[in-house]
C-alpha cells in the first residue's frame, strides 16, 4: 500500500496505487448494518481480474483485517481471473460475519462469497481460507502404469479460489488450467518448482508421465455459484438485510425479471410480478426498504414496489409511465417532499418525478414546458446521499441550509451533486453569475450611442443569472441592436439566438430563464450594430478530475474514463472547530472509473475528490 500526495497539484488528495483492474461496481457496508467494522467499508469488484478489493473508506486506505496492525492491508478476495465481475452487494447477518454477492457475466451466475466468518480473541478477522477438497488425483490416461505426484503443494491465501484444476502433460511440459482462472501463461515442468500466474498454486511435479496423463483436483474457498437463469445486471440488498433483489436478463430471449433471494440461505424465493416484457436494471429504495423503485432499461417505465416484508414476491407494484427506457433512478425524501430522480437512456436531462403530486416537477418555471435539469451528457448512474449536506449558498434568512442531495455521474466523467428538494445542481461559493457592471464591454457602432445596462443594487451586477444551478450554462452572451426592429437581439454561445427581444427600459428574461437584464436608453439613441458582450459562469460545483483547481485536467490528474454508478457512504468525522457546533458528518460517494482503474472518494458537500485508490 502506497499513500502519497501529488506535489504541485493538490494539497489534500491521497493516492493509493496499484490495486484495480477494471473496477466495475462498488458496495458499501456501514457498521450499523452489521459486520465487525467500526467504520464504513467499501468492496470493489474488478471486471478484469476477478478480484474483490476491500477499502477503509474513512481513513482512505486499503482495509486492514488485523486491528492490531492497521497498516497491513487485507488480501483481495479472489474469484478467478476468467470471471467478469459486475454488480456487487454486501450481506452482514451478524456483527461477526460478512458475505458478498457479486455478478459474474462470463458464466451468467451470481456468486455468493464468504469473507469474514468470525472475530478471533485478539480482534483479528477470521476470513475464508482456500482448501483442497478431497485429494489430488493422478490419471494415467493410457494405462501405461506411470505414476506422478505433486509435492510441496500450497494454496496461496488471497489468490486461490473455488474451481477445478487440470494439469495435462503434452510429452514435454504440463499445461495448467483452472475452470475459473483459465489457462495459465506458463506451463509446469517436472522437477521444477511451479507458481501459477497469480500465485494461487505452488507445487513440484515428481514421477513419470506420458502424453495425455493429467492431474485433477478441486479447490474450495467458500464461493458458491447461483444460477438465476441469466445475467445479473443489477443488485440491491434491502436495508434490513432480509432480502436480496437481482435484476436478471435471460440469455435466450432477452426477457428480464427481478429475482428475490434469501441472502442467509442463498436460495431464491421467486420473482417480483413485473409486466410482461420488462427489463429491470437498477434499484433505489427508501431507508426502511418498504418502498422500492426499479428502472426498466427497455420499456418506458419505472416500477414502484410497496414491499411485502414477509414475502416480497407478493408486493404491490405500480407502473410509472416514462417517455423512454430508464438508465437509473434515485429516491430521496424529507419531511415535506418525496422525489424520484429519473435518468432516461441517451438523454442529457435529469428528470424529477414528484411522488406526492404524482407527476413531473417543473424545475425551471421560467418556461411553459415542464423541465428537468440539463447535465449536458447522458447519465451513467445515480446515488442517493445518505444524510443532508450543508449548501454553499445562503438561504433567505442569511444562513446556509442543510438539504438532502443525490449524486449524478455522466459518461463525460463528471459527477454533479443535485439538491433533492429543488432539482437544481449544487453551486460553488460564487454561484451562477455574470461579470460586474463596469466590466461589460459596449461596442458602439455608427453614430455615438449611450445605452447602459442597469446594475442591481443588491448584487452590483448588471446581468442577473438564474440562481438554480444548471439552468444557466457557462457561455458568452451578445446583445446586438437591430435598428429595423427597434430592439436588441440576444444570442448565447450555447443557447443560440433568443426569440425574446430586448426592448429598452423593459426588464428582459431570456427564453429559458437563464439570464435577466435591463437596458436603459441613453441620451443618444442606440444605432444598428451596437453590442453588449458579457460572460456567464454557471457556478455549478462539479467533480471532473481537476483536483488542482486550475480549470483543466492535467496529465498527472485522474482521468475519469468509463465511470460507473456512484455508491453512497456516510460517517462521523469529528467535531467542527467551534465547541458548540454539531458533529461533522462526511457524506459522499465511492465512484469507480472502470477504464482508468481507479476508485474515488468524493465529498458531496465540498464537491471534491479526497482519496484516489489507483
Q: Please spell the DSSP secondary structure of 24-55, one letter per residue.
A: EEEEEE-TTTSSS-SS-EEEEEETTT-EEEEE
Nearest to 25 by CA among 588, 611, 562: 562
For the chain, what is the total number of helices (H) and then of strands (E)? Answer: 0, 53
Tell me how far the alpha carbon of residue 331 is from its chain's centroid.
15
Which residues, including other chains, have CB under 8 Å from residue 84's CB and lie 6 or more apart?
Answer: 47, 48, 50, 104, 105, 106
Rounded Cα–Cα distance for residues 176 and 160 (Å): 14
The CATH number of 14-114+230-364+379-384 is which of 1.10.3720.10, 1.20.1090.10, 2.130.10.10, 3.40.630.30? 2.130.10.10
- Contact assessment for residue 562 and residue 381, using Cβ atoms and an 8 Å cutoff: no
Segment 190-227, tens digit of pLDDT: 999 999 998 999 999 999 999 999 999 999 999 999 99
Residue 439 phi/psi, 5° resolution?
-95, 0
Say whether pTM exceeds 0.85: yes
Give Rg (Cα) of the chain.
29
Nearest to 244 by CA among 256, 267, 262: 262
Q: Position of cell 491465501?
A: 157
**Residue 336 φ/ψ region, left for φ over 0, alpha for ψ in the -120 to 50 degree band, beta for the rest:** alpha
Q: Position of cell 507458481?
A: 195
Bridge partners for 593 per DSSP:
563, 598
Which residues, including other chains, have CB under 8 Å from residue 504's CB and lie 6 or more apart?
Answer: 451, 487, 488, 519, 520, 521, 526
- Contact assessment for residue 508 and residue 490, using Cβ atoms and an 8 Å cutoff: yes
- Contact assessment for residue 175 and residue 182, using Cβ atoms and an 8 Å cutoff: no
Nearest to 416 by CA among 404, 426, 429, 430: 426
Q: What is the mean pLDDT of each run of 10 residues along the chain (614 residues)?
A: 37 63 96 94 96 94 72 82 97 96 97 94 87 95 92 90 97 97 96 94 95 96 96 97 97 93 97 95 96 95 96 96 97 97 96 97 93 95 96 76 95 95 93 77 93 82 92 96 96 96 96 95 95 94 79 69 95 68 83 94 94 90
Domain ranges of the chain: 14-114+230-364+379-384, 131-221, 433-537
Strand order in the sheet with 291-296: 280-285, 291-296, 301-306, 316-321
Q: Strand, coil or helix: what is 312?
A: helix
pLDDT at position 12:
62
Segment 474-521, tens digit of pLDDT: 999 999 999 999 999 999 999 999 999 999 999 999 999 999 999 999
Grid coordinates of 357 = 403530486
Amino acid at each position: 500500500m502506497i499513500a502519497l500526495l501529488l506535489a504541485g497539484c493538490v494539497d489534500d488528495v491521497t493516492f493509493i496505487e496499484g490495486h484495480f483492474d477494471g473496477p466495475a461496481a462498488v458496495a458499501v457496508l456501514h457498521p450499523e448494518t452489521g459486520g465487525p467494522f467500526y467504520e464504513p467499508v467499501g468492496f470493489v469488484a474488478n471486471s478484469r481480474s476477478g478480484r474483490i478489493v476491500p477499502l477503509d473508506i474513512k481513513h482512505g486506505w486499503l482495509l486492514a483485517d488485523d486491528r492490531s496492525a492497521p497498516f497491513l492491508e487485507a488480501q483481495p478476495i479472489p474469484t478467478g481471473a476468467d470471471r467478469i465481475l459486475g454488480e456487487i452487494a454486501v450481506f452482514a447477518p451478524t456483527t461477526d460475519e460478512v458475505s458478498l454477492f457479486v455478478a459474474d457475466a462470463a458464466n451468467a451466475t451470481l456468486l455468493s462469497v464468504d469473507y469474514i466468518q468470525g472475530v478471533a480473541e485478539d480482534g483479528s478477522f477470521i476470513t475464508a481460507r482456500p482448501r483442497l477438497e478431497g485429494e489430488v488425483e493422478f490419471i494415467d490416461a493410457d494405462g501405461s502404469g506411470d505414476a506422478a505426484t505433486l509435492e510441496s503443494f500450497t494454496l496461496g491465501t488471497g489468490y486461490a479460489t473455488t474451481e477445478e484444476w487440470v494439469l495435462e502433460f503434452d510429452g514435454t511440459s504440463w499445461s495448467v488450467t483452472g475452470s475459473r482462472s483459465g489457462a495459465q501463461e506458463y506451463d509446469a515442468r517436472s522437477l521444477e518448482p511451479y507458481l501459477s500466474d497469480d500465485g494461487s498454486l505452488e507445487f513440484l511435479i515428481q514421477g513419470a508421465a506420458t502424453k495425455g496423463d493429467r492431474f485433477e483436483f478441486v479447490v474450495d474457498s467458500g464461493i458458491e455459484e447461483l444460477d438465476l437463469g441469466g445475467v445479473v445486471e443489477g443488485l440491491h440488498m434491502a436495508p434490513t438485510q432480509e432480502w436480496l433483489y437481482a435484476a436478471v436478463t435471460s440469455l435466450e430471449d432477452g426477457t428480464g425479471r427481478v429475482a428475490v433471494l434469501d441472502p442467509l440461505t442463498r436460495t431464491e424465493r421467486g420473482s417480483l410480478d413485473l409486466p410482461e416484457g420488462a427489463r429491470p436494471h437498477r434499484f433505489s429504495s427508501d431507508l426502511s426498504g418498504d418502498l422500492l423503485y426499479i428502472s426498466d432499461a427497455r420499456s418506458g417505465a419505472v416500477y414502484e414496489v410497496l414491499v411485502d416484508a414477509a414475502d416480497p414476491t407478493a408486493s404491490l407494484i405500480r407502473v410509472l409511465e416514462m417517455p423512454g427506457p430508464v438508465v437509473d433512478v434515485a429516491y430521496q425524501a424529507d419531511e415535506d417532499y418525496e422525489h424520484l430522480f429519473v435518468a432516461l437512456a441517451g438523454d442529457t436531462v435529469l428528470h424529477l418525478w414528484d411522488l406526492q403530486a404524482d407527476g413531473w416537477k417543473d424545475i425551471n418555471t421560467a418556461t411553459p414546458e415542464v423541465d428537468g435539469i440539463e447535465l449536458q451528457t447522458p447519465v451513467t448512474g445515480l446515488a442517493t446521499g445518505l444524510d443532508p449536506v450543508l449548501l454553499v449558498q445562503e438561504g433567505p434568512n442569511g444562513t446556509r441550509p442543510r438539504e438532502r442531495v443525490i449524486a449524478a455521474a455522466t459518461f463525460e466523467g463528471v459527477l454533479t451533486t443535485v439538491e433533492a428538494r429543488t432539482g437544481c445542481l449544487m453551486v460553488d461559493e460564487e454561484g451562477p453569475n455574470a461579470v460586474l457592471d463596469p466590466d461589460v464591454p459596449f461596442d458602439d457602432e455608427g453614430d455615438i450611442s449611450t445605452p447602459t445596462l442597469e446594475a442591481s443594487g443588491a448584487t452590483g451586477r448588471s446581468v442577473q443569472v438564474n440562481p438554480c444551478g444548471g439552468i444557466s450554462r457557462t457561455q458568452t452572451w451578445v446583445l446586438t441592436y437591430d435598428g429595423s426592429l427597434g430592439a436588441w437581439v440576444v444570442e448565447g454561445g450555447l443557447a443560440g439566438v433568443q426569440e425574446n427581444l430586448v426592448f429598452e427600459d423593459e426588464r428582459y428574461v431570456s427564453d429559458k430563464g437563464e439570464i435577466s437584464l435591463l437596458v436603459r436608453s441613453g441620451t443618444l439613441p442606440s444605432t444598428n450594430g451596437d453590442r453588449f458582450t458579457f460572460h456567464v459562469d454557471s457556478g455549478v460545483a462539479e467533480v471532473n478530475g481537476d483536483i488542482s483547481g486550475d480549470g483543466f485536467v492535467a496529465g498527472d490528474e485522474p482521468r475519469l474514463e468509463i465511470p460507473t454508478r456512484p455508491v453512497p457512504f456516510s460517517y462521523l468525522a469529528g467535531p467542527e472547530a467551534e465547541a458548540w457546533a454539531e458533529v461533522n458528518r462526511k457524506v459522499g460517494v465511492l465512484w469507480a472509473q472502470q477504464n482508468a482503474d481507479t476508485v474515488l472518494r468524493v465529498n458531496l458537500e465540498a464537491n471534491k475528490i479526497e482519496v484516489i485508490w489507483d
